[in-house]
Amino acid sequence: EYYSSNIAWGSLYRFLLVFTCLSIYMTPDLSTAGGVNAWMYHHSIDPPRTWSSARTWCQQRYTDMVAIQNQGEIAYLNQMLPSNPSYYWIGIRKVAGVWTWVGTNRSLTPEAQNWAVGEPNHPLEDCVEMYVKREKDTAKWNDERCNKKKGTVCYTASCSEGSCGNHADCVETIGNFTCQCHPGFLSPRCEEAVTCDALSVPQHGRLQCHGSYGPSRFNSSCRFHCDLGYSVEGPEWLQCQASGRWDHPAPRCQVEQCAALKPTSDRLLRTCLHPIANDSFNSTCAFSCEEGFELSGQSVTICDHAGRWTAEVPTCSVIACAPISPPAMGNMTCVDSLAPFSFGSSCSLTCLEGYTLAGSHTLACSASGQWSRWSGQLPVCQAVQCSVLSAPPHGSLSCSNPNGEFSFSSRCALTCDEGFLPNGTAHTECSSLGSWSQEVPRCLAVQCSVLSAPPHGSLSCSNPHGEFSFSSRCALTCDEGFLPNGTAHTECSSLGSWSQEVLLCLAVQCSVLSAPPHGSLSCSNPHGEFSFSSRCALTCDEGFLPNGTAHTECSSLGSWSQEVPRCLAVQCSVLSAPPHGSLSCSNPHGEFSFSSRCALTCDEGFQPNGTAHTECSSLGSWSQEVPLCLARSCPLLVTAPHHGWMNCSHPHSSFSYASHCDLGCSEGFRLSGTPSINCNTSGDWSGVMPTCKVVQCEASWLAGLTASPLSLNCSHPRGNFSFGSRCRFACAGAYSLNGTEELLCSSSGRWSDCVPEVGTPLWSAVLMYSGAGAASLAVLLCAVGAGLLVAKQGTHNECV
Ligand SMILES: *[C@@H]1O[C@H](CO)[C@@H](O)[C@H](O)[C@H]1NC(C)=O
Ligand SMILES: *[C@@H]1O[C@H](CO)[C@@H](O)[C@H](O)[C@H]1NC(C)=O
Ligand SMILES: *[C@@H]1O[C@H](CO)[C@@H](O)[C@H](O)[C@H]1NC(C)=O
Ligand SMILES: *[C@@H]1O[C@H](CO)[C@@H](O)[C@H](O)[C@H]1NC(C)=O
Ligand SMILES: *[C@@H]1O[C@H](CO)[C@@H](O)[C@H](O)[C@H]1NC(C)=O
Ligand SMILES: *[C@@H]1O[C@H](CO)[C@@H](O)[C@H](O)[C@H]1NC(C)=O
Ligand SMILES: CC(=O)N[C@H]1CO[C@H](CO)[C@@H](O)[C@@H]1O
């Protein structure tokens, strides 16, 4: 701003007109394009004033102390002001250590400085005077103490608020002002902003503009943006300058550039695509290595939108195979084209004498090997092999194998199982040529003596290892009826001896037989007494018989075909005593057997009907039969008693021992004699036959009847006044019968009713007439009858 102002002052200088308080009116020597200027100065030298009072004086009357801003003005003032020995204060002083125009409050610029030689020169001299019309250093400035008193120079301003627009400074001229436009604005009132050329939108980018005075006007600014992967080449911001030009040329959008890729190895292969430009945004490079080398790092890198590669360039290093060492018992020689045990290395392998190489003789380190990238597995040096030995049957091999099984210098020893012996040298060794020093012998079974079968026997042998050899087992089988004497088995031991030297067959033995009582044995013994096939026959004494087969034979199992029977006495039939008898027997050889004798005894009342003795003969028959015991007979009873009955029972037979007869009489008769008789043991009846007599009724009452009017008419079919007798009564004269008309003698010997009396109609007369005799008699008779009845029956008292 000051710069601009300074320029304006420089251009205006020659056109200034100056007035003074002394009415010195200076007509400008030139008229200007800026119009009429009217800048008025006023000065006063009397009284002299201090700097502060000088300023107060100016400010009270005019605008302010003079502000000198260029050399032209200085020269003019020097010329126009009258000479004053104390010179003149000007409107500049030190404020806070800085020389400042007090009117405009602007610092003194170096261009505007007008110091006399050697000035300013004192720290305490804060105000400035001007040497007007001085001989030396005329019109120059000097610092002075502010309380010194000097002439006063003032000025009057023409500018007022609103004289110019907002974009201009109002510049005093003589009696007038002029609008001094701020940069970027145009006259006359400086309200129009300068215009710049319109900017065009960049390729691969866009534009953002902003201006407070309109697009592309002064002070408008534009910002450039570029698409992803592009960057602004040049200033990002452009501003329209007061000169009407942009402060910078318009930038371009430049694709982001990545640094050129530097190869890390001459084995590295690269393939790149550059869709936009070389090594720039979106460029893609793929890496690989030559054969035998391997990539370490990313195989692809891309130039990103910020111009950076996404990955560093990878490196190629030679492929290394695993280090290998020569096999045991071998040597190795390697040739390396690049590095030890690396791609291109080749190793050849050999074995020491006596060993053969198993596997490849040469191993190459390749890029695609299978085992640790070698072309093959590491070979081994194997000892020379002999044939595989196997132990013969019944033997076992124990080998020492310093170089592996059945290999060079292996030594094997044969050990035969127990009972076996090797048929040759038991040791062999694998030679350096791969052959055994000798064959492995066989293990042969130990031999025992030859066995032959004994008489009555045969041998069957199992020979697992040959006839009559170790562990042969022979079993003796004896013919039927023979048994081995002791063990039947023998076995050939591992020492060549039989466990049992002699085998024999002996006949089977049956138990010793002895003859039973009453018998004798006779035997035939082809193989010894009571042995297999011995036969024995039993003979019994007379009257005795064997109770089974009399012959027996010793079987092959050692048992008799049957037991020797006993000799039993000949048996007669079993006798039993007849009824009512008992037998008593003597049995020297058993009941009812040969020579048994039996005698019959009959019970009392019985007697045998034959010979009572019999004997069992040797033929088994009784000398005679046993008789019967018959009951003794009593005399035959033919008839029962007259008017009676006989009831006989006969336990044995009719009218014999124990027969019993009950005897009785018919109704109305009574027994005279014993009511029963028995037939006793001696055949006699126990008593004589009784008789039956008719029952008698009482007839003593008859005597009383002779003096009574009763009539009595009796009939006696079985005897006088006995069972069945009937008596009828009747009364004579005027007498009536008082009672039954008829009496009947019952079978029990009682009358059927009481004896009647003579009737009562005449009773008193009768009584008086004939006395009490008849009546007393009748009462007596009835009393007698009743007494009899009472005696016989106990309840019959109807006549009492
Ligand atoms: C003062 O200046 C203005 C414009 O600069 C002009 O229009 C005017 O006439 C001048 N006045 C005088 C008295 O010269
Ligand atoms: C003059 O300017 C200074 C700084 O530039 C400021 O501090 C001071 O207040 C100003 N004085 C007046 C009267 O404007
Ligand atoms: C120009 O623009 C800047 C920033 O936009 C602003 O600070 C400045 O005051 C402006 N100048 C003018 C003269 O308008
Ligand atoms: C860059 O590559 C991306 C992905 O391939 C694609 O989308 C984009 O359009 C490319 N940009 C340019 C400028 O070619
Ligand atoms: C004979 O006696 C038997 C037995 O004592 C008896 O049962 C039977 O009735 C009697 N006979 C006569 C006619 O009395
Ligand atoms: C019959 O005899 C009974 C007694 O002996 C006597 O009581 C009764 O009076 C007699 N009757 C007549 C009619 O006499
Ligand atoms: C004496 C008397 O009169 N007797 C008689 C008994 O009864 C019989 C028959 O009833 C007669 O013939 C008797 O004359």
The protein residue with its alpha carbon nearest to ligand 4, atom 5, reads: 282
- Say what the pLDDT of residue 127 is: 94
**Every domain of the chain and the residues it spans:** 29-157, 194-255, 268-318, 330-383, 395-445, 457-507, 519-569, 581-631, 644-694, 700-718+725-796
For residues 721 and 786, which has the higher predicted lDDT (pLDDT)?
721
Mean pLDDT lowest among 295-299, 733-737, 746-750: 733-737
Closest CA to 141 of 102, 189, 93, 198: 93
Topology of the domain comprising 29-157 = Mannose-Binding Protein A; Chain A (3.10.100)
Topology of the domain comprising 395-445 = Complement Module; domain 1 (2.10.70)
176 close to ligand 1 (CB < 6 Angstrom): yes
Name the CATH architecture for the domain at 194-255: Ribbon (2.10)
Distant-in-sequence, close-in-space partners of 285: CB < 8 Å, separation ≥ 6: 261, 270, 271, 272, 273, 300, 301, 302
Beta bridge partners of 593: 571
Residue 18 pLDDT level (bands cut at 50, 70, 90)? very low
29-157 and 395-445 in the same fold? no
DSSP state of 528: S
Q: What is the mean pLDDT of the chain?
A: 84
Q: Using CA of residue 640, residue 641, residue 647, residue 651, what is the dihedral sign?
A: negative
Residues contacting ligand 5 via CB (< 6 Å)? 645, 647, 662
Convert the pLDDT of each residue in 536-591 to its tens digit: 999 999 899 998 898 999 998 889 998 889 999 999 999 999 999 999 999 999 89
Whether the predicted pLDDT of 284 surpasses 60: yes
231 close to ligand 4 (CB < 6 Angstrom): no
Ligand 4 atom closest to residue 275's alpha carbon, by position in its atom list: 14
Whether the predicted pLDDT of 348 surpasses 90: yes
Name the CATH architecture for the domain at 330-383: Ribbon (2.10)
- Say what the pLDDT of residue 69 is: 64
Tell me the pTM: 0.37
Indicate the CATH number for domain 268-318. 2.10.70.10
Whether the predicted pLDDT of 506 surpasses 50: yes
The protein residue with its alpha carbon nearest to ligand 1, atom 3, reads: 35
- For ligand 6, the distance from its centroid to the CA atom of residue 458, given in whole angstroms, is 142
Mean pLDDT lowest among 39-48, 124-133, 506-515, 650-659: 39-48
Whether the predicted pLDDT of 227 surpasses 90: yes
- For ligand 6, the distance from its centroid to the CA atom of residue 736, given in whole angstroms, is 10
The protein residue with its alpha carbon nearest to ligand 3, atom 3, reads: 219
- Say what the pLDDT of residue 767 is: 44
Distant-in-sequence, close-in-space partners of 268: CB < 8 Å, separation ≥ 6: 287, 288, 289, 295, 313, 314, 315, 316
800: three-class secondary structure by DSSP: coil
Indicate the CATH number for domain 519-569. 2.10.70.10
Topology of the domain comprising 457-507 = Complement Module; domain 1 (2.10.70)
447: three-class secondary structure by DSSP: strand
- For ligand 3, the distance from its centroid to the CA atom of residue 84, given in whole angstroms, is 48
pLDDT average, residue stretch 43-51: 92
Tell me which of 16, 27, 36 to substitute to probe ligand 1's pocket, judged by most ligand atoms within 8 Å of the beta carbon: 36
* Percent of the chain residues topping a pLDDT of 90: 51
Q: Which ligand is nearest to the CA of 727?
A: 7
178 close to ligand 1 (CB < 6 Angstrom): yes
- CATH class (in words) of the domain with range 700-718+725-796: mainly beta
DSSP state of 196: P
Ligand 3 atom closest to residue 221's alpha carbon, by position in its atom list: 5
- For ligand 2, the distance from its centroid to the CA atom of residue 103, given in whole angstroms, is 10
Please state which of the four CATH numbers 2.10.70.10, 3.40.50.2000, 1.10.730.10, 3.30.413.10 is assigned to the domain occupying 644-694: 2.10.70.10
Task: Give the whole-angstrom CA distance, residue 737 versus residue 310.
Answer: 187
- Say what the pLDDT of residue 19 is: 27
125 close to ligand 6 (CB < 6 Angstrom): no
Convert the pLDDT of each residue in 60-118 to its tens digit: 988 888 887 677 788 888 888 999 999 999 999 999 889 998 877 888 888 888 999 99
pLDDT average, residue stretch 768-797: 37
Whether the predicted pLDDT of 273 surpasses 70: yes
- For ligand 4, the distance from its centroid to the CA atom of residue 282, given in whole angstroms, is 6
Whether the predicted pLDDT of 378 surpasses 50: yes
For residues 160 and 37, which has the higher predicted lDDT (pLDDT)?
160
Whether the predicted pLDDT of 344 surpasses 80: yes
Structure tokens of 83?
């000479």
229 close to ligand 4 (CB < 6 Angstrom): yes
pLDDT average, residue stretch 197-201: 93
The protein residue with its alpha carbon nearest to ligand 6, atom 7, reads: 760
- Say what the pLDDT of residue 374 is: 87
Indicate the CATH number for domain 581-631. 2.10.70.10
Whether the predicted pLDDT of 408 surpasses 90: no
- Say what the pLDDT of residue 760 is: 58
Convert the pLDDT of each residue in 231-252 to its tens digit: 999 999 999 998 999 999 999 9
